[in-house]
Amino acid sequence: MSTTNSKPDSPTHVADSNIAPKSGGDVVAYVAPFIVYVLLTSVESKGWLGLGYEAWYSLKAVAVAGTLLWYRRAYPSFSTRGLPLGVAAGVVGIVVWLVLARMQELIPGLNDWIASFLGSRSEYNPFDKEGATAAQIGFVAVRLIGLAVIVPVMEEMLWRGLLARYLINSDDFSAVPQGTFTASSFAIVTAAFVAVHPELLAATAWGILINLLYRRTQNVWACVAMHAVTNALLGGWILATGAWKLW
C-alpha cells in the first residue's frame, strides 16, 4: 500500500506512462460490455425464442466477449506491473469471499431480504438432469470461461478502469492516472460493485481489497488478474462442492 501523504479527498498517485490509456476517454467502450451482459442476463432464464439457459448464457458470453474485443483499443494498454500481487490477492480473495458468504447465510433472514431487491443467483446445476453428458461438460467450460475470463475483464474495465477515474474527472477520465482514488471515489466504486452482488458482506470486503490492489499497483490489469484468480477458484469450488448458489 502506498505511503504517499495526501489530503483525504485528493488524488494519491502520479501517472505512469507505461500503463496509461492510449488516448481518448470513450465512456461507451467501458460501459457497453456491461450493458450487454445485464440485458442478456435479464432474459437468459425466460426461455425466449425457445432457447434454454445454456443457449442464452453462451450467447451472452460471445456477445460480451465480442463487445470487449470491439472496443479493446480504448482500454489501458496491457501491463504486467503488479500481476504477481494480483494473483496472490486473488487467492486471498476467494478465502474472503467464501468465509463471508457463509457468514451471511448464518444471519437469519438476511439473504431473503437481499434477494427482495437485488435478486438472487440462478443456482444452476448443469448435472441435475442427465448426468455429465458431452453437451453439459461443454457448457460448464463455457460457464467457467465466462466466470474467470470474460467477467473479470468486463467488470474491471467498468469499475476501476472507468468509474474510479470518471468520478475524479468526468470531462476526461483518461487523464486521471490509474490507481488514483479520492475518499469519495473509493467509497462509491466499492458500493457500486457491492450493489450488483447479492453476497453483500463478501462483496464489500473483496471490493475494498481490490481497490487497495489498484491503488498499490496502478494497473487495472493487476485487478483483472485478481478477479480472474478469485473467480476461477470459485468455479472450482462450486464444481467440487455443488455450491451452485454461488454461480
Of residues 188 and 25, the one with the higher pLDDT is 188
For 191-206, the pLDDT digits (tens) are 999 999 999 999 999 9
- Has residue 3 got a pLDDT over 60? no
Question: Are 53 and 45 within 8 A, CB to CB?
Answer: yes
pLDDT bin (cut points 50, 70, 90) of residue 59 is: very high
- Has residue 128 got a pLDDT over 90? no
- Has residue 9 got a pLDDT over 60? no
pLDDT value at position 96? 98
For 62-78, the pLDDT digits (tens) are 999 999 999 999 999 99
Q: For the residues 28-47, what does the mean pLDDT come to?
A: 93
Secondary structure class of 71 (helix, strand, coil)? coil
How open is the CA angle 86-87-88, to the nearest 5 degrees?
Answer: 90
pLDDT value at position 119? 74
Percent of the chain residues past pLDDT 90, beyond the cut: 72
pTM of the model: 0.86
Q: For the residues 66-94, what does the mean pLDDT come to?
A: 97
Does residue 224 fall inside a structural domain? yes
Does residue 67 fall inside a structural domain? no
- Has residue 115 got a pLDDT over 90? no
Does residue 114 fall inside a structural domain? yes
Question: Are 174 and 21 within 8 A, CB to CB?
Answer: yes
Does residue 212 fall inside a structural domain? yes
Ranking 22-26, 77-81, 227-231 by mean pLDDT, the lowest is 22-26
A 10 A CB-CB count for 88 gives 14
pLDDT value at position 137? 87
- Has residue 122 got a pLDDT over 90? no
Does residue 109 fall inside a structural domain? yes
Does residue 68 fall inside a structural domain? no
Ranking 18-22, 134-138, 220-224, 238-242 by mean pLDDT, the lowest is 18-22
Does residue 214 fall inside a structural domain? yes
Residue ranges making up the domain that contains 99: 81-246
How far apart are alpha carbons 22 and 151 in whole angstroms? 23
Does residue 16 fall inside a structural domain? no
DSSP of 32-53, one letter per residue?
A: HHHHHHHHHHTTTTTTGGG--H
- Has residue 140 got a pLDDT over 50? yes
Residue type, 23: S
Tell me how many domains the chain contains.
1
Residue type, 201: L
Q: For the residues 36-51, what does the mean pLDDT come to?
A: 90
Say which residue the cell 476501476 belongs to.
160
Q: For the residues 169-198, what does the mean pLDDT come to?
A: 96
